[in-house]
Every structure is written in C-alpha cells, then in structure tokens.
C-alpha cells in the first residue's frame, strides 16, 4: 500500500474511483502492521460499514476482526441532532417552551446539518483525546466537490469569525471564541505536510485524471501541499485477443500519457483492476496481490437486457417535464443525463440539460452544440454572488450605513451558499413546466441535503400560508408529482452501488418521491467480453442485475460498457440504442 504515512491521511477523488476501498485497505494494512488506526468516513452516503460487514454509524466503533482498527461514519443528520441537543439541552427548564422551539427551528436547516458534520470533522483534527489515541487517522471523503467545500470550510469560518461575524446556525450559546480557536487549529493541521497527506485517487481515465488535477490545484491553493496520486483499476498489459480489453488498455495508456504535468510530477502508486468486488476483509487484504490471467470465469450472455431507449420512450410521452438522474458518485449520472437529453433533443423536443454537481462537466461530455439542446449549470459561487447582489439591492436599499454593513456581514456567512443554490434549483424546476429539463445531480449525499432544504422550504411555506396553502405549488410538490418529474436512479452492477441506490430510493420514497426507473450503467454483462478479468466481473454482475429487475425497480435499462469514452452526441445516442452483442 502507501508508505511513510503521516498522522492524517485524506483520500479524495471523483465518485466511483475506489476511495473507500483504498481507504479501508490502507487502514487494515496499517492495523495489521501493529498501528492504532481510526478510519473516518466524511461521506454523507458512507458505505464503510458495508465493506466490513458491520454497523458503524456516528460513534467510534471497534472493528473486532482487525485488532487496532476503529471506524467512524460522520452522519450529518445524527451529528445535527447531537449538535442541537448540546445547545438546547442546557436550556431545558430554564427557558420557556416557546423560546426553545424557536431555537430548535433556527437550528433545523440544511446549513446547520453541514455545520454539525463539519464540527465533528474539525474535532478529529484538534481534540487531544482523539489525536493522541491513534497513530493514524484515515479519512475516506465524499466525492470531490463536497470534499473541497469541507476542506475549505475551516478557513472560511475562521475568516468569517475573525471579521466579527455572527452565525445563527452555530447556535446562540455555541461559544464563538472556542469555535474560532478550533477552526484555526484545523487549518494548521491541514496545511502541515508533516501531519497531513492528501491522496488523490483516480481511475486511469481522462475525465478522472482531469478532475484530480483540478482538485490538486484547488487544495494546494488553500495550503494542502503534501499530495500523492493513486491510480486505481489499471487494466493488465495483455488483452488476450479480446477487443474490449484491447480498447480499454489503449484508453488507460492514452489517459495516463496525457495527464496534466503537475499531476504527473506527484509521487504515484498504481493498483491493478481486480476481478472481484472489494467487499469483505479477505478481499481488502488481497488488494495488492498479483492478478492471475489464466483463470477464465464461466459466464453466459443475458440476451434480455432492456435498452435505455425504452425508458426514454416513456419519458417522451409526457411532452415536457423534469428528468433527474441520481445515484452514487462515479456511476455515470452525467453521462446518462446527457444521453437522455441528446436523445430527446434528437426527437425534436426543446431540452435544457443542467447540473447541481459542482464537479460535473456537461459541456465536455457533449463536446459540441446539439440542435434543440441548451446547457446550464448551478454554479454555487456564481449563484451566491448573484444572491448577495440581489439582497443588497432590495433589502439593503433602504438601510442606513450601519444596517447595510450588518447585512453585508451576514451575507458573508458560508450559509448563504445553501440558500442561493436552493433558489437556483427551484428556478430550474419551474422551467420544466414548459419543456424538458434534464438535471444531472450531485452524488447521493449532497443531493439528499439539497432535497432536505427543499422539504424544509416546503414545510415552512405551508406552515405560514394557512388557508392559502391549497392554492400553492412548492418545488417539493413538483418533485412529488409523477406526471411532472421522473427520477432515474443510476447505478453500476456492483454490490455497493446497488445497495446505495436502494437506500437512495428509500429516502426518496420517504420524501414522497417515487423513482420512475433504474439505469444499470457500464455493464460488462451487456458486452461480449471473454477477457478473464472482465469476464469475471461480468459474471459477478448477474445477481445485482437480477436484484434490480426482480425487487428494486418498476422499470429498468442496462447500458453496456463502452470501448471509448461516451463523449459527443453520436456516442451518447449510441448508449440509448446499443448494438446487440453475442458471447
């Protein structure tokens, strides 16, 4: 695995690159070497517990089968509940019930949820009881966009508090001096190369390497300079006469040869593509073992895998509406959203393709203009700037100099971004009333936080509307209306993505949103590959696809693994109507 690791190790990267597998394997390797290790997931959609086959949750838990190893999954909702109780609990019996409810309502937003999770994160960097108990603390982080925001927050909040800012979501008795000192200490730890290393995990693909290069620069700009590159899932050198394997080997080689020079200069570790899902302790300990190419896994072709075109036919029937692709990071939500949008546009419909994912790159995926198709992006920085300008021009217009200064200070709070992004999200939802809007969403955890904000707004509107509520339509009502919104859950035919997609479906149903269908993307089972490693992975897909077909999805489609990156309108449309294959 990795060598000479410091106290704090962060593994980050684009969704689906194998951050959790590498983080778990690294933690096990260190613990097997006699170190005391704490493995921490900061991903709101963590699956560390599934990898080890135990429940972990929001408290430090011993991994009994690995002496020396403990784990923690920072659960934003659980952290928020504990955070609220720490603030409200001491006031029970002191303040009137009405006042307590007012404070609880103030602390019930999505912003407080993020702050609570962030508070736990900084404690792991600064709490002596934690930092002295372990030789290493390994952080398995959320996909890139979310993680960049988290790692920037100590500096953002420190700067905000240094200017004398007050923040309602921190709580009235939170102790700003204590917070200021802790956030400053967290910034020191993150920027100290002797204590912190950032491991950029990537697949040997152009898009993944490009994102790793961008992340490297952004985090270097905030002082995280001790970086290492981990290229995960490399194809073996020999294609053994298999066309798909030959194409994938060429794709890997071209991507690595063409990577950014700054990224190429970082220290590197490379990991081979494994023929198995990395779930369970035995598989983790095999992570660096040689891969045998002489074992051919038996497989048969499933000739009845429905194409994506069937789902598009059903979506088109409504003539307009919102289509949202959701799922775990790295499953291909952006690609599927672009493919659906391009196909609808090709059929003559006006389509807006947009994204809420800070790390998504729709224009690169389309690689050119498409008739009837327009593209937009909910950019947190741009939306926040526009929101601040609007508030200052409206609410700030009648204020005196002191009042305007206080308003400007309030708008510098990192909470402002949450409000601005939600408002932009709501505007896009309204556009779906007159044409097709295809929305590529951020990875699961981030999207659920956005839906929480939508639900909070919905409840707040109804609470204050009284009798007028029956005449109102909130963004949440549009999402819950199956005639107006169709959610496509995108997954890979692997254990963890399918399990996470199933949990996402449960969360959506609890919010009153029924998914329209599932898309199993990048399936090797839908190809004719006979290469030993690819065939073994194809065979392992069968039970996952059966689970989707038989118990999880009302309707589903399977998109085959492509020999070339699905970039450009022609290749995207080929995903919708793939050529039949033989094994």
Which is catalytic among the residues 18, 321, 332, 396?
Answer: 18
Closest CA to 19 of 34, 41, 37, 44: 41
Section 353-375 average pLDDT: 84
Distance of CA 402 to the CA centre of its chain: 41
Q: Give the containing element (helix H, strand E) for 454.
A: helix 444-465
Query: What pLDDT does 576 receive?
Result: 93
Angstrom distances, CA of residue 518 to CA of 5, 522, 573:
40, 13, 18
Tokens representing residue 17 in the block: 């690159």
| Three-class SS of 467-519 | HHHHHCCCHHHHHHCCCCEEEEEEEECCHHHHHHHHHHHHHHHHCCCCCCEEE
Q: Contact 559/572 with Cβ under 8 angstroms?
A: no
Residue 173 binned pLDDT confidence (cut-offs 50, 70, 90): very low
Of all residues in the chain, the percent with pLDDT exceeding 70 is 82
Residue 137 three-state SS: strand
Helices 444-465 and 110-126, interaxial angle, to 10°? Answer: 140
Tokens representing residue 350 in the block: 């006006």
520 conformational bin, left if phi > 0, alpha if psi -120 to 50, beta if neither? beta
How far is 50 from 34, CA to CA, in rounded Å? 24
pLDDT at 464 exceeding the cut of 80? no
pLDDT (tens digit, 9 = 90+) per residue, 100-120?
777 776 666 656 666 676 777
Closest CA to 499 of 77, 46, 74: 46
Residue 327 known to be catalytic:
no
Q: Contact 131/7 with Cβ under 8 angstroms?
A: yes
Question: C-alpha angle 251/253/255, rounded to 5°?
Answer: 65
List beta partners, residue 517.
488
Q: Contact 132/141 with Cβ under 8 angstroms?
A: no
Query: What pLDDT does 150 receive?
Result: 56
Q: Contact 539/223 with Cβ under 8 angstroms?
A: no
Range of lowest pLDDT (92-96, 107-111, 275-279, 390-394): 107-111
Q: Contact 508/515 with Cβ under 8 angstroms?
A: yes
Sheet strands side by side (includes 485-492) = 373-375, 351-355, 436-440, 321-326, 485-492, 517-523, 556-560
Question: C-alpha angle 144/145/146, rounded to 5°?
Answer: 95
Residue 163 known to be catalytic:
no
Query: What pLDDT does 39 receive?
Result: 95
Residue 16 known to be catalytic:
yes
Q: Find the farthest-apart pair of alpha carbons in the chain and give their distance in angstroms, rounded.
A: 78
Q: Contact 146/46 with Cβ under 8 angstroms?
A: no
Place of tokens 């254990």: 495
Residue 223 known to be catalytic:
no
Count other C-beta atoms under 10 Å from residue 403's C-beta.
Answer: 12
Q: What is the pTM of this model?
A: 0.74
Residue 557 binned pLDDT confidence (cut-offs 50, 70, 90): very high
List beta partners, residue 434.
none
Which is catalytic among the residues 496, 502, 529, 530?
Answer: 496
pLDDT at 76 exceeding the cut of 80? no
CB burial readout 373-390, b (16+ within 10 A) else e: bebebbbbeebbeebbee
Section 60-87 average pLDDT: 85
Range of lowest pLDDT (153-167, 429-443, 500-514): 153-167
How far is 532 from 298, CA to CA, in rounded Å? 9
Q: Which of 146-150, 166-170, 298-302, 480-484 has the highest mean pLDDT?
A: 480-484
DSSP string, 276-312: S---SHHHHHTTTSPPPSS-PPP----TTPPPHHHHH
Residue 280 known to be catalytic:
no
How far is 519 from 497, CA to CA, in rounded Å? 12
Tokens representing residue 371 in the block: 């008739």
The alpha carbons of the chain give a radius of gyration, in whole angstroms, of: 24
Tokens representing residue 230 in the block: 């981990």
Residue 199 three-state SS: strand
Query: What pLDDT does 59 receive?
Result: 86
Query: What pLDDT does 57 receive?
Result: 82
Q: Which of 46-60, 261-275, 355-369, 499-513 has the highest mean pLDDT?
A: 261-275
Closest CA to 337 of 371, 305, 306, 376: 376
What's the chain's average pLDDT? Answer: 83
276 conformational bin, left if phi > 0, alpha if psi -120 to 50, beta if neither? beta
pLDDT (tens digit, 9 = 90+) per residue, 483-524?
999 999 999 998 888 988 998 899 889 888 899 999 999 999
Residue 429 binned pLDDT confidence (cut-offs 50, 70, 90): confident
Q: Contact 137/8 with Cβ under 8 angstroms?
A: yes
Residue 251 binned pLDDT confidence (cut-offs 50, 70, 90): very high
How far is 397 from 330, CA to CA, in rounded Å? 45
Which is catalytic among the residues 20, 141, 179, 523?
Answer: 20
Query: What pLDDT does 127 receive?
Result: 83
pLDDT at 252 exceeding the cut of 80? yes
Residue 19 known to be catalytic:
yes
Question: In the chain, helix, strand, coil percent, each to 5?
Answer: 50, 15, 35
Tokens representing residue 22 in the block: 């590498």
How far is 385 from 417, CA to CA, in rounded Å? 9
Query: What pLDDT does 172 receive?
Result: 46
pLDDT at 216 exceeding the cut of 80? yes
Which is catalytic among the residues 21, 112, 122, 502?
Answer: 21
Which is catalytic among the residues 43, 75, 119, 357?
Answer: 43
How far is 574 from 336, CA to CA, in rounded Å? 11
Count other C-beta atoms under 10 Å from residue 50's C-beta.
Answer: 17
Query: What pLDDT does 131 receive?
Result: 85
Residue 20 known to be catalytic:
yes
Which is catalytic among the residues 13, 16, 321, 332?
Answer: 16
How far is 305 from 580, CA to CA, in rounded Å? 10
């Amino acid at each position: 695995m990795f060598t000479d690791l410091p106290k704090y190790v962060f593994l980050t990267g684009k969704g689906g690159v194998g951050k959790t597998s590498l983080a778990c394997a690294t933690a096990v390797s260190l613990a097997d070497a006699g170190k005391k290790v704490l493995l921490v997931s900061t991903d709101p959609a963590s699956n560390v517990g599934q990898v080890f086959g135990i429940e972990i949750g929001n408290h430090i838990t011993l991994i009994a089968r690995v002496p020396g190893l403990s784990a923690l999954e920072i659960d934003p909702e659980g952290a928020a509940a504990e955070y609220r109780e720490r603030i409200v609990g001491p006031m029970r019996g002191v303040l009137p019930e009405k006042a307590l409810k007012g404070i609880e309502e103030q602390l019930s937003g999505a912003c407080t949820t993020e702050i609570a999770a962030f508070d736990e994160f900084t404690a792991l960097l600064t709490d002596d009881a934690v930092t002295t108990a372990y030789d290493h603390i390994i952080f398995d982080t959320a996909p890139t966009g979310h993680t960049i925001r988290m790692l920037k927050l100590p500096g953002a909040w420190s700067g905000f508090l240094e200017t004398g800012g007050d923040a309602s979501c921190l709580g009235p008795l939170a102790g700003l001096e204590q917070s200021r000192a802790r956030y400053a200490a967290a910034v020191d730890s993150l920027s100290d190369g002797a204590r912190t290393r950032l491991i950029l995990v990537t697949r040997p693909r152009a898009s993944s390497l490009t994102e790793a290069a961008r992340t490297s620069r952004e985090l270097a700009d905030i002082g995280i300079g001790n970086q290492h590159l981990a290229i995960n899932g490399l194809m073996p050198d020999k294609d053994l006469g298999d066309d798909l394997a030959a194409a994938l080997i060429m794709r890997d080689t071209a991507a690595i040869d063409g990577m950014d020079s700054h990224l190429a200069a970082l220290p590197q570790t490379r990991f081979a593509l494994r023929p198995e899902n990395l779930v369970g302790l035995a598989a983790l300990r095999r992570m660096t073992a040689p891969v045998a190419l002489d074992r051919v896994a038996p497989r048969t072709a499933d000739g009845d895998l429905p194409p994506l075109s069937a789902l598009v036919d059903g979506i088109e029937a409504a003539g307009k509406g919102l289509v949202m692709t959701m799922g775990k990071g790295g499953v291909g939500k952006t690609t599927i959203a672009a493919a659906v949008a391009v196909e609808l546009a090709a059929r003559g419909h006006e389509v807006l393709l947009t994204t809420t994912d800070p790390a998504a790159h729709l224009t690169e995926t389309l690689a050119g203009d498409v008739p009837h198709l327009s593209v937009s992006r909910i950019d947190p920085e741009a939306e926040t700037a526009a929101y601040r300008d609007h508030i200052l021009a409206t609410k700030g217009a009648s204020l005196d100099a002191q009042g305007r200064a206080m308003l400007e200070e309030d708008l510098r709070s990192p909470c402002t971004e949450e409000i601005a992004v939600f408002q932009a999200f709501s505007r896009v939802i309204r556009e779906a009333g007159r044409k097709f809007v295809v929305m590529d969403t951020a990875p699961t955890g981030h999207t659920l936080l956005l839906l929480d904000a939508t639900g909070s707004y919905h409840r707040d509107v109804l609470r204050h509307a009284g009798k007028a509520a029956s005449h109102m339509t909130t963004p949440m009502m549009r999402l819950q209306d199956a005639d107006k919104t169709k959610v496509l859950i995108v997954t890979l035919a692997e254990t963890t993505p399918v399990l996470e997609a199933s949990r996402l479906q449960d969360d959506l149903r609890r919010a009153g949103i029924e998914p329209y269908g599932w898309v199993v993307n990048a399936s090797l089972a839908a190809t004719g590959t006979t290469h030993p490693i690819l065939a073994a992975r194809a065979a392992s897909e069968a039970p996952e696809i059966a689970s989707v077909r038989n118990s999880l999805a009302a309707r589903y489609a399977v998109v085959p693994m492509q020999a070339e990156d699905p970039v450009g309108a022609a290749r995207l449309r080929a995903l919708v109507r793939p050529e039949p294959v033989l094994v």
